Amino acid sequence: MPMLIRDLVLQPGEPEEMLRERAARRLGLPADAIRAYAVVRRAIDARRQDRVAQVFNVELALKEGVKAERRAAARRHRPDVQMLLVKARPPVVQGASPLRHRPVVVGFGPAGMFAALALARQGYSPIVLERGRDVRTRHRDVMQRFYREHDFDPESNLLFGEGGAGAYSDGKLYTRVNDPLVQEVLAIFFQHGAKPDILIDGRPHVGSDKLPGICRNIRVAIEAAGGEVRFGQRVDDVEITDGSVTAVQVGGERVATDALILCIGHSARDTVRMLARHGVRIEAKPFQFGVRVEHPQKLVDQWQYGAACGRMPLPPADYHLVARGAAGAMGDVFSFCMCPGGIILPTNESHGLIATNGASRASRGGPLANSGLVVTVPPEAFGNDPLAGLAYVEGWERAAFELTGRTYEVPAQRGPDFIAGRMSDGELVTSYPLGGRWADLRRVMPEFVGPAIGRALHMLDERHPGFAGPEMLVTGPESRASAPIRIPRHDDTRESINVSGLYPVGEGAGYAGGIISAAVDGIRTAEAVVARFAPVK
């Protein structure tokens, strides 16, 4: 279908079959001139609450063929009607340098999973080492042992295990990364169990109830293509000889490799410290820190949909908000990882820490919505030392644990009380699975973050009445939005700048910020390995 028509509008409730008529009208042709059409993007436009609508991009073909399509596009001469020029991505040519040992992928989150899949499909038989457990065992460890019995396992939790932190997230599959691989990543998710809607929705998501099964399906595909995925395999040490990776140590076993793809995520702090001891170059970088806020979903719907709320069949609303200048010299305060109809989750990887994140099921049908509200912290705040940055974040997470009486309840405050600097009282209602406890949240964040969040709440409440009202809950800390470190790499080879054969990838290395960007980074790095090396014979 070589024509693309953008921004066709349907009112909520109008059937998608009307798109043929709307597209024909845009082209100045009768509806029966269109041979076939397909939706390629779908979104909700709620910028004007009196005109909430569905907006579509459609690919189509005319009955009279390509010449008629070109005439129609030229005649309309407008940017929302154009011919499509589809260019296939060229295949990666395998390199000539011999691999003596199979490539090793450390970590089986989105970056490691997609790197391993790309390598396996090219015949490189990767070995994946994941410190956590397979997704079924991991699910039992989290739901039964941690949530019900408060028995935390530092090697099997919401961060470590099959699928990484992404497996228990909302499964948001939208990104600001402009890379042709984004559609390929979406297609892989669809091929392994996600609904086809993700291929066309403007803000696609999978859901925390669907992601674990999809992760398992991708692992099966990797193994069927010759890869090997090992669980309960924490990398204890890395061997570096004459500036090159030669092996990793795992539970007393030596695994030799020439290509070590490091996809450890942003919470494997012990691994980062081990790499630093070996002299791997690590740099401090800015990161985000703040709180996670919770509102009734119906309140968010009212902000976004206005009079249309409740009268039209609309999905649970989300938001992306910025409080300009609320952090003073530190810049803006902004929302992050908004989860409609979702829950707040614990995201600690060690005993005695509290950190928060958000998730929602595929239906996004829960009564509460949550989002991070964060400030960018510059490296100067912790002395420009990357390891000090890790300790800096960890210190605030430990303070949160201590503040709640050394339990895993989340510290919480109502919005007006946070602004006023007073303790909340009365019933505490939160989606956090381990419960909450009233506390002074400013005691679990850097001194410049609390006032910034307070100013942001006031500003956002003026824009959206009730944002900082009595129905709003502030919890925290939200400290895992991004890592305070980067492992610098060469742009062309994607190797560490001072250790050959070491490929830092994804969020933990400072090169991604979400499922899609991490997956793209994993694929790009796998292709760099393929372009350099020939498979092990």
What pLDDT does 174 receive?
76
What residue ranges do the domains of the chain occupy?
3-83, 97-282+487-534, 287-478
CB–CB of 314/330 below 8 Å?
A: no
What pLDDT does 528 receive?
97
Rounded Cα distance, 111 and 512, in Å: 9
What pLDDT does 49 receive?
67
What pLDDT does 436 receive?
97
Max CA separation in the chain (angstroms):
74
What pLDDT does 50 receive?
67
CB–CB of 179/149 below 8 Å?
A: no
pLDDT beyond 60 at 170: yes
Rounded Cα distance, 291 and 299, in Å: 19
Rounded Cα distance, 163 and 347, in Å: 14
Model pTM above 0.85: yes
pLDDT beyond 80 at 29: yes
What pLDDT does 524 receive?
97
Q: Between these two residues, 313 and 210, which has the higher pLDDT value?
A: 210
Tokens standing for residue 131: 């410190």
CB–CB of 248/104 below 8 Å?
A: yes
> Which stretch of 163-177, 207-221, 269-283 has the lowest confidence by average pLDDT?
163-177
pLDDT beyond 90 at 141: yes
pLDDT tens per residue, range 59-76: 989 988 888 888 888 877
What pLDDT does 123 receive?
96
What pLDDT does 390 receive?
96
pLDDT beyond 80 at 204: yes
| Helices 110-121 + 211-224 axis angle, to 10 | 30
What pLDDT does 172 receive?
80
Task: Tell me whether strands 235-241 and 228-231 are parallel, antiparallel or unpaired.
Answer: unpaired
Q: Which long-range contacts (CB under 8 A, 24 or more apart) does 274-277 make?
A: 274/235, 274/236, 274/237, 274/238, 275/238, 275/487, 276/386, 276/387
pLDDT beyond 90 at 87: no
pLDDT tens per residue, range 332-386: 999 999 999 999 999 999 999 999 999 999 899 999 999 999 999 999 999 999 9
pLDDT beyond 70 at 414: yes
Helical (H) or strand (E) element with 396: helix 386-403
pLDDT beyond 60 at 1: no
To which residue do tokens 């959206």 refer?
A: 464
Rounded Cα distance, 165 and 429, in Å: 25
pLDDT beyond 80 at 86: no
Q: What is the mean pLDDT of residues 92-118?
A: 96
Q: Which amino acid is at 60?
A: L
The share of the chain scoring above pLDDT 90, in percent, equals: 78
What pLDDT does 203 receive?
85
Q: Which amino acid is at 432?
A: Y
Q: Which amino acid is at 441?
A: L
pLDDT tens per residue, range 421-478: 999 999 999 999 999 999 999 999 999 999 999 999 999 999 999 999 999 999 999 9
What pLDDT does 2 receive?
81
CB–CB of 336/293 below 8 Å?
A: no
What pLDDT does 340 receive?
95
To which residue do tokens 């994140």 refer?
A: 357
pLDDT range class, residue 306, cuts 50, 70, 90: confident
pLDDT beyond 80 at 304: yes
- The answer as to CATH 3.50.50.60 being correct for domain 97-282+487-534 is yes
Q: What is the mean pLDDT of residues 483-491?
A: 96
CB–CB of 473/430 below 8 Å?
A: yes
Q: What is the mean pLDDT of residues 413-426?
A: 96
For the structural domain made of 3-83, what CATH number should be given? 3.30.70.2700
> What does the mean pLDDT of the chain come to?
93
To which residue do tokens 């948001």 refer?
A: 172
To which residue do tokens 């970056």 refer?
A: 111
What pLDDT does 116 receive?
98
What pLDDT does 219 receive?
97
What pLDDT does 78 receive?
80
Whose CA is closest to 105, among 537, 532, 525, 516? Answer: 525
What pLDDT does 74 receive?
82
What pLDDT does 44 receive?
87
Q: Output b/e per residue, 290-325; b: 16+ Cβ within 10 A.
A: bbbbbbbbebbbbbbbeebbeeeebebbbbebebee
